């Protein structure tokens, strides 16, 4: 059961079958698993420029949003959802991939910069604030060498996870789902500590 404290959960990614299970779409993958576990089906919502589904949360609902604007314009969808559902930014969590974190590492923050992530940058610009919760999921770097990393970044984030990586990722996604569904008004710091220190047993 979701808490009344969480009004909107946004997963960042790119729409279309060609981007399914790519590293850049890990935010979508978490939302799809949450929807599956809660028997919730996503529906196209043109007003919000994305796909949404609703899950009971106390006397209210938690809404899941997958923008269909492509990554760089994700903020357009999030802003539309904020205006339509009239929630506060502290009632929002955004899930995104992070190339600076190794696979298996999770980083949770209550505010901060985009860290160079174009989707988060768009959300910050459209909301006019960086004070919203975000959960970054490590996808690893294509190289430790700066020149190689820069030239291989696009192919890396748009590449699909390997079978071995998917096994590891499934453990990570399950941990994230458990933590998100257990959020209350008073335990955000505890959830943050648990996720930030998480390491799958098989890594």
* Residue 24 among the catalytic residues: yes
Quote the tokens at residue 192: 């943050």
Catalytic residue among 24, 90, 126, 156: 24
Find, among 19, 65, 18, the residue nearest to 40 by Cα. Answer: 65
Q: Count other Cβ atoms within 10 Å, centred on residue 149.
A: 14
**Distances 133 to 15, 90, 91 between C-alpha atoms, Å:** 23, 7, 8
**Distances 67 to 31, 47, 80, 174, 199 between C-alpha atoms, Å:** 12, 11, 10, 22, 29
| H/E element, 66 | strand 60-67
Which residues are the active-site residues? 24
């Amino acid at each position: 059961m979701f808490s009344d404290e969480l009004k909107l959960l946004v997963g960042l990614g790119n729409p279309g079958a060609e981007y399914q299970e790519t590293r850049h779409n890990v935010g979508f993958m978490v939302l799809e698993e949450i929807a599956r576990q809660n028997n919730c089906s996503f529906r196209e919502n043109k007003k919000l420029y994305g796909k949404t589904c609703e899950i009971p949360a106390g006397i209210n609902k938690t809404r899941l949003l997958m923008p269909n604007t492509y990554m760089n314009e994700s903020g357009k969808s999030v802003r539309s959802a904020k205006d339509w559902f009239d929630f506060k930014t502290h009632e929002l969590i955004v899930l995104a991939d992070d190339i600076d974190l190794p696979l298996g590492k999770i980083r949770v923050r209550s505010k901060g910069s985009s860290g160079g992530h174009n989707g988060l940058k768009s959300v910050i610009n459209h909301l006019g604030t960086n004070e919203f919760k975000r959960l970054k999921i490590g996808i690893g770097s294509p190289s430790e060498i700066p020149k190689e990393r820069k030239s291989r970044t696009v192919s890396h984030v748009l590449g699909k996870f390997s079978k071995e990586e998917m096994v590891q990722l499934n453990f990570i996604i399950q941990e994230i789902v458990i933590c998100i569904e257990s959020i209350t008004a008073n335990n955000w710091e505890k959830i943050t500590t648990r996720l930030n220190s998480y390491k799958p047993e098989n890594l």
